[in-house]
Amino acid sequence: MAFALPTETYAGKVYEVTIGTDKTATFGGENVLPFHNFEGTIPHKPLIAYEIQDVPPEDWPETLRKVYEGKSADPVTWAKHCQDDLKAEAIALRLIGTHPDRENRSAEEAAKTVSDVLAAINVPLIILGSNNPDKDSQVLVAASEAAKGRNCIIGKAQESNHKTIVAAAMANNHKLVAMSELDINLSKQLNILITQMGFDKERIITDPMCSALGYGIEYSYSVMERIRLAALTQNDVIMQPPMMGDIGFYVWKVKEAQASESDLPQWGNLEQRAIGWEAATAAALLLSGAELLIMRHPEAVKTINSFIEELI
């Protein structure tokens, strides 16, 4: 008797999101669990965006900074390097320099940076604030206006500042990242608040927050998995936006990505270890349901692209 692979069918479907104008990128759209293409349809591969910043990445570890040496002094050169040399399918510009505890750059300065980067590239752009809710309310409004008509992703909208950022994304025809703090109920509540303002649920990207390997990734995984199961098995339309993993932001600050070989020789080569840490974290979040990843190291991106190709 021939073996018949047991399969499941799902009532729901993840929304398909397209970003960009000249060159576009699309992610989401599947009606099965991650990489279960034997059970249904996965029309698009997960999308990986290279992260750049509006200021030189002096807070990044040397292992990572040296990769962009000579390129990261200004965001335009950095963005063009990612697009032309690293063949990025999308770029994520983090306006970290606007944070009050950093350079405290103004909303006007941020808007100019966004305009300059958009003028230099043709791949889709994701515009991220500094994660300071009060400052992001000013910065992301100006950035959204500067990018009007370019079909970007703007974020991150949080419960405390979502009204201002949602209104800016609506007015300028962008997609929106909705970030909650590792709780499926908070994630759903924020999506409800956003849609109650008239923002289309199909234009939301959910960021449930994440953590690096070894720093609570099991909890991150379980929250994202529950969100995806609610979308597919319960056909919960509020939970059906695609999900984002802000990988590099969390990975490159942990001890395993920074501790020197002289201090911890038993941990092995620092560069290989750090790249592996970003790749392993990204792989875990892909398997939990993430369709959009923000990453930093080109070798980690290369590893994950191979991982995706093998599983897809």
Q: Tell me what pLDDT residue 3 has.
A: 85
What is the rounded end-to-end Cα distance, in angstroms, of the chain?
A: 28
Q: How far apart are CA 77 and CA 42, in angstroms?
A: 35
Q: Tell me what pLDDT residue 2 has.
A: 84
Mean pLDDT of 252-281: 95
Instruction: Give the confidence band of 312 by pLDDT, cuts at 50, 70, 90.
Output: confident
**Are 164 and 184 spatial neighbours (Cβ–Cβ below 8 Å)?**
no
Other C-beta atoms lying within 10 Å of the C-beta of residue 227? 23
Q: Tell me what pLDDT residue 5 has.
A: 82
**Are 271 and 225 spatial neighbours (Cβ–Cβ below 8 Å)?**
no
Q: How far apart are CA 127 and CA 79, in angstroms?
A: 12
Instruction: Give the confidence band of 21 by pLDDT, cuts at 50, 70, 90.
Output: very high
Return the amino acid letter for 292.
L
pLDDT at 1 over 80: no
Instruction: Give the confidence band of 175 by pLDDT, cuts at 50, 70, 90.
Output: very high
pLDDT at 13 over 90: yes
Mean pLDDT of 29-38: 96
- pTM, to two decimals: 0.96
Task: Tell me phi and psi for residue 92, to 5 degrees.
Answer: -110, 115
Class of domain 17-311: alpha beta
pLDDT at 114 over 90: yes
Mean pLDDT of 52-60: 97
> What does the block give as tokens for 228?
């995806």
Q: Tell me what pLDDT residue 104 has.
A: 97
Q: How far apart are CA 161 and CA 143, in angstroms?
A: 15
Mean pLDDT of 9-31: 97
> What does the block give as tokens for 177?
């990242």
Q: How far apart are CA 98 and CA 186, in angstroms?
A: 27
**Are 184 and 214 spatial neighbours (Cβ–Cβ below 8 Å)?**
no
Q: What is the DSSP string of 166-231?
A: HHHHHHTT-EEEEE-SS-HHHHHHHHHHHHHTT--GGGEEEE-----TTTTHHHHHHHHHHHHHHH
- pLDDT tens digits, one per residue of 99-109: 999 999 999 99
Q: Which helix (H) or strand (E) holds 120?
A: helix 107-120
**What is the SS3 assignment for 118?**
helix
Instruction: Give the confidence band of 4 by pLDDT, cuts at 50, 70, 90.
Output: confident
When the pLDDT of each residue in the chain is averaged and rounded to a whole number, the result is 96
Q: Tell me what pLDDT residue 243 has.
A: 98
Q: What is the DSSP string of 242-289?
A: -EEE-HHHHHTTSGGGT--TTT-GGG--HHHHHHHHHHHHHHHHHHHT
Q: Tell me what pLDDT residue 310 has.
A: 96
> What does the block give as tokens for 136?
């992001």
> What does the block give as tokens for 178?
């909705």
Could you tell me what percent of the chain has a pLDDT over 90?
A: 96
Mean pLDDT of 158-175: 97
